[in-house]
Structure 1
Amino acid sequence: MNFPINFIQAFSKAILAVVMVLQPASVRSNMTVVIGFEGSANKIGVGIIRDGEVLSNPRRTYITPPGQGFLPGETAKHHRSVILTVLQEALDEAGLKAEDIDCVAYTKGPGMGAPLVTVAIVARTVAQLWGKPLLGVNHCIGHIEMGRLITNAQNPTVLYVSGGNTQVIAYSERRYRIFGETIDIAVGNCLDRFARVIKISNDPSPGYNIEQMAKKGTKYIELPYTVKGMDVSFSGILSYIEDAAHKMLSTSQCTPEDLCFSLQETVFAMLVEITERAMAHCGSQEVLIVGGVGCNLRLQEMMGVMCKERGARLFATDESFCIDNGAMIAQAGWEMFCSGHVTELSDSWITQRYRTDEVEVTWRD
């Protein structure tokens, strides 16, 4: 994505004005400290990790009116307006200066183009002004490594569920292998788009509000259940429930709460099914749920029932680390940096399509 040269110059000057203020001398420690910048969707966050310890993790969320999604250009504009403030907060909260940082990590992808570019520009500028190595991080692996850090899961089958991604993943031979995934839209995108249909608030997130409404649902509406081998499909379910919403709500055949309940039960059952099949294939006794949808308590409950039946353990986190955040990029960056990874400035681009299994995982056995 190309930005006007006058925008890049003005934005770079703004970054310079902030980061130069943050450079007084400070006492160095022998521990490795990585700062991470995340902004692949409507969350902008900056987090700092020091040898497995989360020192800071502030973020902001771009929230649109009910019935509307977030567009790339407007989301990037939001990120540009707050990213330097969030950077200042991260350093202040951690009590660190520029000299304390060993590496600057940023989200390379996948994600929305304009927001990713905004973050990459800031990260590249900060790395050059501070004289620090730069690391482009895969967003999905950021979620996995953050989940492993927080829960202490050793070698789990991972269910990664968010607004832009739905994958079942397991580690094997220096890669995070994708055993199953959505063949169309992500589960989070399905929930978000349904929320727009029935005008559910986007504050704090449409998925959270669907979860709360679903707790009040009492009638199950049968929806298409689309599992194809190890893969899932959500676009047909979305089309069906959109049509059902217009017909059934207008004739009082059900309530919005009933539809939220039915949608959750159906799509989460599909996710539990493919996760269990991947566990059986891998001989795994651990499940780790990551990504924004992963903080849904009903999904965790359903997955927990399956794990209990198999004698397996479920690992999950709350919204602090499930939802996109800077610390997860810092943690993945810390793992990569400590195993010898560095991104050359000439290679520090972004990509909206960056597969989880493209990354060589050199920091695990």
Structure 2
Amino acid sequence: MVVSIGFEGSANKLGIGIIQDGIVLANPRRTFITPPGEGFKPVDTAIHHQSNIVLLLKEALDEAKIHPEEIDVVCYTKGPGLGAPLVSVAVFARTISQLWRKPIIGVNHCIGHIEMARLITSAQNPIVLYVSGGNTQIIAYSQKRYRIFGETIDIAVGNCLDRFARILKLSNYPSPGHNIEQLAKNGKIYVPLPYIVKGMDMSFSGVLTHIEDFAATLQEYSIEDLCFSLQETVFAMLVETTERAMAHCGSQEVLICGGVGCNLRLQEMMSEMCKERGAKVFATDERFCIDNGAMIAHAGAEMFRVGAVTSWKNTFCTQRYRTDEVEVNWRDEQ
């Protein structure tokens, strides 16, 4: 039996999760919300995390009904992410590791999303579409690595949606992408937008720049039309490249993870594609799609199980930590 605690704080979500042998015992979260039209600055986000982390730890331990001495390993997000929030949470995790005399493991944020989604959905060996505010990657597992088949060449799809929400002065509660999704449901006219797929890679910055011009006037199209058109365009790009990866790997499963992964329209479009191929699509809800501590605890527990403990001198953070840098020793070859 392994009980692990995970600390996540790579962006504006602070999460602490406790996992026991794949069972989520606690997974509380706090989100740093800024006024409409504003993004979150790294320093302000770090201060939010520092202000809330002690109370959140108590909440997690109380919810899980676990005492510190029962925890086997402390896990934290090593990267990728925003520097100041990452460091603020990592310092706390290192402190807890020393106080409780527990081993510590630095977890790749992207790997955390993938492993948590695999646990919740029971997907076996899928093509992974990882979409969030800071990352957009199409991934397949092979020979102890998560191989990146395609990715954004500029901004992430989540960042594209968030920045457009900022232009429209939409509320950041519960999230900008969620509010775009709700407005898009009432869109009636499709606005022609650039469709930028280059091989297996995608570009979203040009789409954002183009739709900004329409948003500045709002003469021909409504806000709802623009949100609808943006979603349809960028999600079609994601579905196309995911299908190409499926064909290349001979896969009959797609797993959607990351914050944007809880968008129901994206799940619907991916399901339509998979239905035509006789394939299956797997996705989770906002509890596990959005950044959370449980995903770090679970990925860390998998690493702990195969002895991949982080040495003390390597318990640093890095904003650039590629998904394919991690040796995935805990997965069996398929």
Q: Distance in 1 between matches of 2:221 and 2:246?
A: 37
Match of 1:301 in 2: 268
1:28 aligned partner: none
Secondary structure in 1 matching 2:330: coil
Matched, 1:69 2:39: yes
Kept after mapping to 1: 8 A contact 2:80/2:109: yes
One-letter code aligned to 1:188: G
Q: What is the deviation of 1:244?
A: 1.5
2:256 to 263, 280, 289: 289
Per the alignment, residue 5 of structure 1 pairs with none
Residue pair 2:112, 2:296 contacting (<8 A) in 1 also = yes
Q: Show the counterpart of 1:232.
A: 202
> Using the alignment, how far apart are the partners of 1:39 and 1:329 within structure 2?
10
Partner AA of 1:84 in structure 2 = V
Unaligned runs of 5+ in 2: none
Separation (CA, whole Å) in 1 of partners of 2:129 and 2:55? 33
* Contact 2:146 2:323 survives alignment (8 Å): yes
Corresponding letter in the other structure for 2:296? I
Give yes or no for the alignment of 1:363 onto 2:330. Answer: yes
- Give the aligned residue type for 1:305: E
Corresponding residue to 1:263 among 200, 205, 230: 230
Q: TM-score, normalised by structure 2?
A: 0.99
- 1:87-121: CA deviations, max 9, x gaps? 11111000000111000000000000000001100
Q: CA deviation at 1:77?
A: 0.5
Structural mapping, 1:171-186, within 5 Å: 171-186=141-156
- Equivalent of residue 345 in structure 1, options 297, 302, 312: 312
**Residue in 1 aligned with 2:5?**
35
C-alpha deviation, 1:148, in angstroms: 0.3
Deviations 1:185-215 (A, max 9, x none): 0000000000011111100000000000000
User: For 1:82 and 1:181, how far apart are their aligned partners in 2?
Assistant: 34
Q: Secondary structure, in 3 states, of the residue corresponding to 1:195?
A: helix
How much has 1:64 moved relative to structure 2?
0.4
The whole-number CA distance in structure 1 between the counterparts of 2:250 and 2:268 is 22
Are 1:210 and 2:164 counterparts? no
What corresponds to 1:191 in structure 2? 161
> For residue 99 of structure 2, what is the amino acid of its counterpart?
L
**TM-score, scaled to structure 1:** 0.91
Name the structure 1 match of 2:81.
Answer: 111
Letter in 2 for 1:345: W
Verify the 8 A CA contact 2:255 2:281 in the aligned structure 1. yes
* Root-mean-square deviation (Å): 0.5
Amino acid at match of 1:284: S
Q: Which runs of 5+ in 1 are unaligned?
A: 1-30
Q: Is residue 335 from structure 1 mapped to residue 302 from structure 2 by the alignment?
A: yes
Whole-Å Cα distance in 2 between the matches of residues 207 and 354 of structure 1? 24
- Structure number with greater Rg is 1
Aligned to 2:141, what secondary structure does the other structure show?
strand
Q: 1:129 and 1:282 mapped to 2: Cα distance?
A: 46
- Residue 300 of structure 1 aligns to a residue in which SS? helix
Poorly superposed stretches of 4+, deviation over 3 Å? none
- Provide the rounded CA distance (Å) in 1 between the counterparts of 2:157 and 2:55: 32
Report the counterpart of residue 16 of structure 1 in structure 2. none
